[in-house]
Amino acid sequence: MDNVQSALLNWKKVDEAPVIVNSSQITVFVNRVSTETIQMQSINIPDSSSASFSFPPLGADVLSPDEPVDVRVSVHNPFSWSEENNITGTVGSVSLTRGNGSVIPIENLSEEIEIFLPRPEGVQANSTILYLGNYSTLMVDVPSPDVTLVLKIKPSKNITFQLFLGYKDYPNDKQYIAKTQMPHQSNTQEEKYTWVLGPKDLTGKVGVHYLVVRPIVEAGVKSVNATVTVTSIAAQCKYWNETLSTWSEDGCRVGPLTTLLATQCLCTHLTFFGNSFFVMPNLVDVSRTAELFGTFAQNPVVVCFIGSIFVAYVLVVIWARRKDIQDTAKV
C-alpha cells in the first residue's frame, strides 16, 4: 500500500487536486499540501461515505513551515484476521509523510484530531418519546463494558431539565452513577442536548440502566406539559495498536457530534481508526404505571395517554371476539 501511495505522489505538485483510487475493496487518497492548507480543511473523499479527518493547529515542532506535507488516506480493514476484531463499522487511516517518504510522527497532541466514521448501513433509529410530568423513566440496555453511551435529547419546548442515570435501580438525587443538566453550555444545538457517557462514566457496568428525566420548574408548579424524544446510541472509537497487534482505545474517545449517520472520534494520534456502532432499544418503564395513576392530578397527560392505550386494546379484543363468534355461527 505504501508503495502504491508513493508512486501516486511522485509527480504531485503542492495544493493541487488529490489523486483518488476507488474500488469495491479499498479506497486510496493522496495529496501534497502546504502546512497551512492541511490545518484549514477537512480531509475527505468526495462523493463517498468514507472517513473524514480534520487536524487541529500543528506547531513548527510537528510540521516544518517550509516543507510541504504528503497526505495518505486509505479506507479498508487490513486487520480482519485479528481474533479480537470487534470492529463493525468503517475503518480508515491517515498518515503524514515528508517528500522522501519518511513518516511525520503525530502523537500525544494537546488538541485532538477529529475523525468522522460513517455508521454501518441498515442501522435504524430507535427513538422514544417521554411525557414529562414530575419525572419520566427510560430503560437503556448497555451491551458491553467498553462502549460509550450517547444520549440525544430533543425537547418539545425550551425547558431546563435534569437527567439521572442509575444501574439496575431507579436513580435519585443521592443515588446515581451519573447526572447532568440540559441544555449544556455549548456553541452548537447538537451539543447542548447530547450527553456522552464513556466507559469510565458507566464504571464498566453492563445491562439495564434507568434514565430519569426530571424537568426543573418554578416553586408551586407541579407538572410540565412537554415531551422529550430520546435516542440512545452505543458507539466505540478504536485504533490499531501495532505493538500489541490489537484494537485499543487509549487516546481516542467518542465525541458529542456522534449521530445516527456517523461516529465522531476525537484522537491525539494518527493510525488506523475503526468504530463499532449500535442503536439500542429504549423501553418506557411501565412498572411505574400504577404509581402514575395514583398521582393523576400531578401527571394527567401521561395517565390519559397510557389509559387510552388500554382502552384501545380492550376494544380490539372485544371486536376480535365478536368476529370469531360470527364466523363460528356461519360455519
Fold classification of 127-234+276-287 (topology level): Jelly Rolls (2.60.120)
Could you identify the residue written with the cell 442536548? 193
Q: Tell me the backbone φ, ψ of residue 251, rounded to 5 degrees.
A: 85, 0
Q: Under a CB-based contact definition with an 8 Å cutoff, are residues 130 and 299 in contact?
A: no
Task: Enumerate the domain spans of the chain.
Answer: 2-118, 127-234+276-287, 290-330
77-84's contacts with Cβ under 8 Å and 24+ in sequence apart are 77/274, 78/1, 78/272, 79/240, 79/247, 79/272, 82/245, 82/246, 82/247, 84/246, 84/247
Q: In a 10 Å sphere around its CB, with 0-12 CB exposed, 13-18 middle and 19+ buried, how is residue 187 labelled?
A: exposed
Residues 6 or more apart in contact with residue 153 via CB below 8 angstroms: 163, 182, 193, 194, 195, 213, 228, 229, 230
Written as nine digits, the cell of 260 is: 445516527
Q: In a 10 Å sphere around its CB, with 0-12 CB exposed, 13-18 middle and 19+ buried, how is residue 317 labelled?
A: exposed
Q: Tell me the backbone φ, ψ of residue 74, rounded to 5 degrees.
A: -135, 145
pLDDT the model gives residue 254:
94
Between CA 100 and CA 207 the distance in angstroms is: 51
Could you tell me which of 248, 274, 266, 147 has the C-alpha nearest to residue 199? 147
The DSSP bridge partners found for residue 213 are 136, 163
Task: State the Cα angle at 106 between 101 and 108, rounded to 5°.
Answer: 160
Written as nine digits, the cell of 296 is: 393523576
pLDDT in tens, the chain (331 residues): 677 777 888 888 888 888 888 777 778 888 898 888 888 778 887 766 678 889 888 888 888 888 899 888 887 666 665 555 566 667 777 888 888 888 888 888 888 999 898 876 656 667 889 888 767 888 998 888 889 999 999 999 998 999 999 998 899 889 999 999 999 998 888 999 999 999 999 998 999 999 999 988 777 666 778 899 999 988 888 877 777 777 778 888 999 999 888 889 999 887 766 666 555 555 555 444 334 444 444 445 444 554 555 555 556 556 666 666 665 655 5
List, as one string, the DSSP characters of 34-70: -HHHHTTS-B--TTS---EEE-----TTTS-TTS-EE
pLDDT the model gives residue 287:
43
Between CA 116 and CA 49 the distance in angstroms is: 10
Task: State the Cα angle at 202 between 198 and 207, rounded to 5°.
Answer: 120
Q: Under a CB-based contact definition with an 8 Å cutoff, are residues 112 and 260 in contact?
A: no
CA 119 from centre of chain: 9
Global pTM reads 0.77
Could you tell me which of 29, 107, 37 has the C-alpha nearest to residue 72? 29
- Provide the strand spans (E) within the chain: 19-22, 27-33, 52-54, 69-75, 91-97, 113-118, 127-132, 136-142, 148-155, 161-167, 178-182, 194-197, 207-215, 226-241, 246-248, 252-254, 262-267, 272-279, 282-284
Between CA 9 and CA 71 the distance in angstroms is: 9
SS3 318: helix
Could you tell me which of 129, 151, 171, 126 has the C-alpha nearest to residue 306? 129
